[in-house]
Amino acid sequence: MYSVLPEDRSKHLGEELQGYWDQEVLRAEKATREPSLTKAIIKCYWKSYLVLGIFTLIEVKAVTYSALLFSVCGSVMRWVRQLMEEADTEGEATGTGILPERESASLGCWEL
């Protein structure tokens, strides 16, 4: 079994949170309100959660935009294939510049 890193031990984390809780209690007494454990937890751990949140946002956006990019690429490929098929059936593949003249004779028996 591996040993836990010193910064991840519950004693260290508990002492750190206890310090933020003590500060929250002092602020609450000055403001004559109830202390909030939520505020103490947020002040204690906001940096690590911010970093994790940024990485999660980047991951979600990368997946979303890659799916959109693949969809657009597929649409463009279908559009080009349709243009090439229409040009080949009308004998205009070489005239439109889609196929060079020297390759059009060798591709006569192939279907695009």
Give me the phi and psi of 54, to 5 degrees please: -65, -45
Indicate whether this model's pTM tops 0.75. Answer: no
- If you search the block for the tokens 């510049």, which residue do you land on? 97
3-state secondary structure of 4: coil
Q: Where are the domains of the chain?
A: 13-92
pLDDT averaged over consecutive 10-residue blocks of the chain (112 residues)? 76 88 94 93 91 94 87 84 71 54 49 48
The most distant pair of C-alpha atoms in the chain lies apart, rounded to whole Å, by 90
What secondary structure does DSSP assign to 20-50, as a single string? Answer: HHHHHHHHHHHTTS---HHHHHHHHHHHHHH
What is the predicted pLDDT for the residue at 50? Answer: 94
